[in-house]
Structure 1
Amino acid sequence: MLIRLVVFALFVLLLAYGFSWLADRPGDLSLIWEGQIYQTKLIVAASAIIALVAAVMIAWWFVRLVWTSPHSVTRYFRARKRDRGYQALSTGLIAAGAGNALLARKMAARSRGLIRADQEPLINLLEAQAALIEGRHDEARAKFEAMANDPETRELGLRGLYLEARRLGANEAARQYAEKAADNAPYLPWAAQATLEYRSQAGRWDDAIRLLEQQKAARVVEKAEANRLHAVLLTARAGEKLESNPTGARDDALQALKLAADFIPAALIAAKALFREGGVRKAASILEQAWKSAPHPEIGQAYVRARSGDSTLDRLKRAERLEGQRPNNVESLLVVAQAALDAQEFAKARAKAEAAAHMQPREAAYLLLADIEEAETGDQGRVRHWLAQALKAPRDPAWVADGFVSDKWLPVSPVTGRLDAFEWKAPFGQIEGALEDGSAPASIETALKTLPPLRDVRPESPVNDHRIIELERAATIAEAVRPTPAPAPAPTSAKPKPVEPAVSDKAPAPSEAKPFFGGLPDDPGVRDPRVEPEPKTRLRLF
């Protein structure tokens, strides 16, 4: 509009300048026509010519207006009708969004009467939305199918069909609609995300990676998010290759680490693959880098047990090396405490576990203290004390996704199917360290103060005690299977002799030897009750 005003102003200025130029240069204009001489001023002749051109233009405009007036009138009423239809359509869409099914249905009927549906496909959308609000899902699906067959509304119809399939639980149909939409338009976020999740759930990692690359090229997702998802997919594929193809698993895991350097599952799989190939040094370097970025118990366990032939003291040294890289860290203290317990260095294990519990009183520290108490003293009272503290302490971090707690990392949530849903964090259940009864977990200082005194419960020689028990058990069995001798018949004419007290088989003479090896068998065989009576046995449990 501004340009037209500027052009009009320039035209007026040029016209005025032309008239002023002619006025400054007076002259006469002579015209001889049919023997007659017509003479006038030059400026008058120029003005007459301009007026004639203007008159012709005005006459042409009037003739054209009269000629096209029927069409103009028709177009005017048609535009007015279309405007009313679009106004009804807009009102209907607003009503559908607000949940007013009655008004939406009324406006949809009015819009269809004022505008043709083939000219405005949004009428089908309004009718489908009204049907969904009223609960007529079959009619809504029919409308969405009609829109899916129209090139202009194909994406809209596929999304409606996808949502309806998800509502009905038809996951296979929903997957097909999402994949069809993603193939036609990979720039659609909902279609690409749904297809990516479906392919990940089915383990089609190659197809999922290909789709993610298309999304990244179309700039549907941000570069950082795309790299993260790419690392997750590569790690999942590497996990499946670890047993059958360690080399391929190693390559995928290393590529995932390039995309996400702090991704713990990728570091673990890369290290395990290198361990299988004998690359212990490179695997240890990868684990050390992962430990520096984020200490993790699985990283520590894999690093400490990198070589299967190491002694417990060697593993303790490796654990202390990890602690040196991240000092004053709970995971470092727990790794050293566990390695010291395996090496039977109870003082160091206890000190590290207590330091970890002092820094962060949680379940793993108290359970480790219970294991140390069991291995060092065997005092069940003190062991139960630490187990009670572990029961009241906050839970250890775990892989959690949508409220589901897993003992290992998974690429897809088993609850919602969301990709990269698992996080390493404390599970829900305790809010701000409070227990169910409203009390707070006891600190390590309180636990040490309430620790029961040590009792001498261990025998001096457990090996000899075990042998004594075995000897008593063998003697009991041997004495149970020994047959009872029959009494001798008394003579009829001889003077009876005084009866001497009989010695019970159950109490043999002190001088009688009790064989342990080479004695009677444990199972003497089947006895004949008619010949040999069943002896009485004595059962000793301890």
Structure 2
Amino acid sequence: MVRVLYFLILIGAIALGFAWLADRPGDMVVTFDGYQYQVSLMVAAVAVVGLVAAIMLSWWVVKALWNSPYTITRYFRVRRRDRGYQALSTGMIAAGAGDAALARQKNKEAAKLIRSDQEPLIQLLEAQTLMLEGNHEAARDKFEQMIDDPETRLLGLRGLYLEAARQGNREAARHYASRAAHVAPQLGWAAESSIEEKAEEGDWDGALKLLEAQKAVQKTDREGFNRRRAVLLTAKAISTFDTDQVGARAAALEANRLVPDFVPAALIAARCLFRTDEVRKGSKLLEAAWRKHPHPEIAELYVHARHGDAALDRLARAQRLQSLHSNHPESALTVARAALAVQEFGLAREEAQASIRMDPRESAYLLLADIEEAAGGDSGRVREFLARAVRAPRDPAWVADGVISEHWAPQSPVTGKIDAFQWRVPVERVGIAIEPEERLAPVMIEAEPQPIEEAEIVEAEPVATDVELVEPDEADAVVESAEPAKADPTEEAKPLSADNDQKPAHDSVQEEKVDEPVRRLPDDPGVPPEERKAGSRFRLF
């Protein structure tokens, strides 16, 4: 559009010039070789313009003829290059889609049309095709060749890094990543692998320096950077807790300041403060972390913050935590454990049952078993809670890449990834479901065990005056035992007992069986009182 405007302005200027000459008549006289040539000024101007145009046209024609061989060659070269780039583009798409045959075909076509030293992507397409064909050794050789070229060095290092990671050779993968990070610190994958290597070596200061360098060249989000820095600082504080108290304290407090709800940072910071007798400050720090994320390790450290506290003082501290985050299973379990330590069995049982109502899990049932055992309850109830603990969902734990750890670690033991451990329920027990009856049954048990009467277990039908034959199925339904005895077929056919006391034979069997102690399964909670009065003889749950 601008060029058209300039062209119109030029034409307008020429027209104005000719109009100006037309308004001012005059003659131009030229004497040449004894002759005088006289023309008007307008004709002379038109002649000059025409002469200039003719000269320019002639120069263009001569130049076009002179450069025609180069122009023709350049046309075919551009056409050949365009075909090569089209084949290269199609080959890269085929390699990304996993079509090895088409990628190989387009790679050969592109190699014929474009020189590999002019277009490095041809080498990448060759390496990708070799990987799709399963020839990883040749692919690694191709990546090593790419390292020699400064233009493709990072691409070759990236390919060798991925190949080493695929083979599980973490040492080689980190070697290539370290070389790439030295050349280009802005590469996220290279910096990440170098940080993981420093972390495995325990060089936390070096890992922190790499993280700072990565932040300087990359536009990373502030929250993610703070999280990773807090993880490294927490790991540094844990590793130097026994050797460098001042450094561990500074690192732990900075980590807690960066991410206040990061549980491992809060724990190590509180431990550092407790060691210097700053119990109040450490307790405030743990309380702040507890409000955001109730964690059993926070509760354990908070309750035992002062070593000289009595059991009642620890119970008061547990109740303080419960007030900060009520209606949470961890709060209830914390109070239940502290109450068990002071032998407040009623409070301990109540809080443990409240925890089960909110979130039934293994530790709550095990705690109830400990409470019943400490309270001197019957062994049947203890076995019942132990059986329910076996079937209950598992408690949350520190999990990373399928590995369950009792304590937090800064990186995964499998992949070496930083900040891989998460506090969650292990996946192998997630699918276990608890029925509503099982959730509520332990909660409904009375504090004091009640003796079970024989009439409540088996309610016999009124005995008829006439002698009645009892079918074997009916006798088995009325008399239920953990180990039924095998009766003789000849005895089952007898209507009377052996002592001829005019009682049916099945009544004598009832009297013999009722006198035996009742054996229950470990997960049988017994018959609730409201169901005993309903008249059902066979319901156990």
Q: In the alignment, what sits opposite 2:449?
A: 454
Query: Residues 84 and 31 from structure 1, CA distance in 2 versus in 1: closer, same or farther, beyond 3 angstroms?
Result: same
Displacement after TM superposition at 1:408 (Å): 0.9
- Please list the CA deviations of residues 393-440 of structure 1 after superposition, one character each: whole Å capped at 9, or x if unmatched: 2211111112222111111112222211111112213446516xxxx3
Q: Does 1:182 align with 2:144?
A: no
Displacement after TM superposition at 1:180 (Å): 0.5
Aligned positions of 1:144-159 closer than 5 A: 144-159=143-158
Which whole-Å CA distance do the structure 2 matches of 1:273 and 1:378 have between them?
42
Which whole-Å CA distance do the structure 1 matches of 2:324 and 2:99 have between them?
64
- Greater C-alpha radius of gyration: 1
Which whole-Å CA distance do the structure 2 matches of 1:131 and 1:433 have between them?
46
Asked whether the 8 Å contact 1:189–1:220 carries over to 2, the reply is no
Which whole-Å CA distance do the structure 1 matches of 2:308 and 2:198 have between them?
41
Which deviates more, 380-389 or 83-92?
A: 83-92
Displacement after TM superposition at 1:37 (Å): 4.9
Which whole-Å CA distance do the structure 1 matches of 2:381 and 2:100 have between them?
69
Q: In the alignment, what sits opposite 2:395?
A: 396
Q: In the alignment, what sits opposite 1:46?
A: 45
Displacement after TM superposition at 1:313 (Å): 0.7
Would you identify which runs of 4 or more consecutive aligned residues in structure 1 move more than 6 Å?
A: none
Which whole-Å CA distance do the structure 1 matches of 2:133 and 2:228 have between them?
40
Q: In the alignment, what sits opposite 1:5?
A: 4
Q: In the alignment, what sits opposite 1:427?
A: 426
Asked whether the 8 Å contact 1:117–1:123 carries over to 2, the reply is yes
- Residue type matched to 1:26 in 2? R
Query: Residues 336 and 449 from structure 1, CA distance in 2 versus in 1: closer, same or farther, beyond 3 angstroms?
Result: closer
Which whole-Å CA distance do the structure 1 matches of 2:96 and 2:347 have between them?
67
- Residue type matched to 2:27 in 1? L
Q: In the alignment, what sits opposite 2:475?
A: none
Which whole-Å CA distance do the structure 2 matches of 1:428 and 1:441 have between them?
22
Q: In the alignment, what sits opposite 1:370?
A: 369
- The correspondence for 2:440, drawn from 441, 445, 448, is 445
SS in 2 for 1:454: coil
Which whole-Å CA distance do the structure 2 matches of 1:331 and 1:42 have between them?
108
Query: Residues 145 and 367 from structure 1, CA distance in 2 versus in 1: closer, same or farther, beyond 3 angstroms?
Result: same
Which whole-Å CA distance do the structure 2 matches of 1:32 and 1:45 have between them?
10
Which whole-Å CA distance do the structure 2 matches of 1:348 and 1:277 have between them?
34
Q: In the alignment, what sits opposite 1:91?
A: 90
Query: Residues 6 and 203 from structure 1, CA distance in 2 versus in 1: closer, same or farther, beyond 3 angstroms?
Result: farther
Asked whether the 8 Å contact 2:391–2:432 carries over to 1, the reply is no
Which whole-Å CA distance do the structure 2 matches of 1:420 and 1:144 have between them?
31
Asked whether the 8 Å contact 1:354–1:444 carries over to 2, the reply is no
- Residue type matched to 2:31 in 1? W
Displacement after TM superposition at 1:348 (Å): 1.6
- Residue type matched to 2:336 in 1? A
Aligned positions of 1:93-112 closer than 5 A: 93-112=92-111
Give me the TM-score of the superposition, normalised by structure 1: 0.78
- The correspondence for 1:28, drawn from 26, 48, 55, is 26
SS in 2 for 1:412: coil
Asked whether the 8 Å contact 1:188–1:220 carries over to 2, the reply is no
- Please list the CA deviations of residues 151-172 of structure 1 after superposition, one character each: whole Å capped at 9, or x if unmatched: 1111110111112222333222
Which whole-Å CA distance do the structure 2 matches of 1:86 and 1:429 have between them?
51
Q: In the alignment, what sits opposite 1:525?
A: none
Displacement after TM superposition at 1:283 (Å): 0.9
SS in 2 for 1:62: helix
Q: In the alignment, what sits opposite 2:17?
A: 18
Aligned positions of 1:484-503 closer than 5 A: none
Which whole-Å CA distance do the structure 2 matches of 1:411 and 1:178 have between them?
20
SS in 2 for 1:447: coil
Which whole-Å CA distance do the structure 2 matches of 1:166 and 1:83 have between them?
36
Displacement after TM superposition at 1:312 (Å): 0.4
Asked whether the 8 Å contact 1:30–1:37 carries over to 2, the reply is no
- Please list the CA deviations of residues 104-141 of structure 1 after superposition, one character each: whole Å capped at 9, or x if unmatched: 33332332222222112222222222222222222211
SS in 2 for 1:151: coil
Give me the TM-score of the superposition, normalised by structure 2: 0.78
Which whole-Å CA distance do the structure 1 matches of 2:164 and 2:428 have between them?
34
**How many pairs align?**
450
Asked whether the 8 Å contact 1:434–1:441 carries over to 2, the reply is no
- Please list the CA deviations of residues 414-473 of structure 1 after superposition, one character each: whole Å capped at 9, or x if unmatched: 2222211111112213446516xxxx36455322446796279xxxxxxxxxxxxxxxxx
Q: In the alignment, what sits opposite 1:248?
A: 247
Which deviates more, 30-39 or 255-264?
A: 30-39
Q: Percent identity?
A: 53
Aligned positions of 1:331-370 closer than 5 A: 331-370=330-369
Asked whether the 8 Å contact 1:28–1:41 carries over to 2, the reply is yes
Asked whether the 8 Å contact 2:311–2:341 carries over to 1, the reply is yes
Unaligned runs of 5+ in 1: 457-542
Aligned positions of 1:273-288 closer than 5 A: 273-288=272-287
SS in 1 for 2:238: helix
Displacement after TM superposition at 1:62 (Å): 1.0
Aligned positions of 1:201-216 closer than 5 A: 201-216=200-215
Query: Residues 330 and 85 from structure 1, CA distance in 2 versus in 1: closer, same or farther, beyond 3 angstroms?
Result: same
Which deviates more, 386-395 or 295-304?
A: 386-395
Query: Residues 453 and 341 from structure 1, CA distance in 2 versus in 1: closer, same or farther, beyond 3 angstroms?
Result: closer
Asked whether the 8 Å contact 1:246–1:277 carries over to 2, the reply is no
Which whole-Å CA distance do the structure 2 matches of 1:318 and 1:450 have between them?
29
- Residue type matched to 2:301 in 1? A
Q: In the alignment, what sits opposite 1:327?
A: 326
Displacement after TM superposition at 1:290 (Å): 0.7
Q: In the alignment, what sits opposite 1:259?
A: 258
Which whole-Å CA distance do the structure 2 matches of 1:53 and 1:341 have between them?
112
Which whole-Å CA distance do the structure 1 matches of 2:27 and 2:428 have between them?
107
Which deviates more, 409-418 or 267-276?
A: 409-418
Asked whether the 8 Å contact 1:385–1:451 carries over to 2, the reply is no
SS in 2 for 1:152: coil
Q: In the alignment, what sits opposite 1:76?
A: 75
Query: Residues 139 and 445 from structure 1, CA distance in 2 versus in 1: closer, same or farther, beyond 3 angstroms?
Result: closer
Q: In the alignment, what sits opposite 1:488?
A: none
Displacement after TM superposition at 1:100 (Å): 3.2
Displacement after TM superposition at 1:307 (Å): 0.5
- Residue type matched to 1:393 in 2? A
SS in 1 for 2:423: strand
Unaligned runs of 5+ in 2: 452-541
- Residue type matched to 1:161 in 2? L
Which whole-Å CA distance do the structure 2 matches of 1:47 and 1:443 have between them?
111
- Residue type matched to 2:88 in 1? L
Asked whether the 8 Å contact 1:394–1:441 carries over to 2, the reply is no
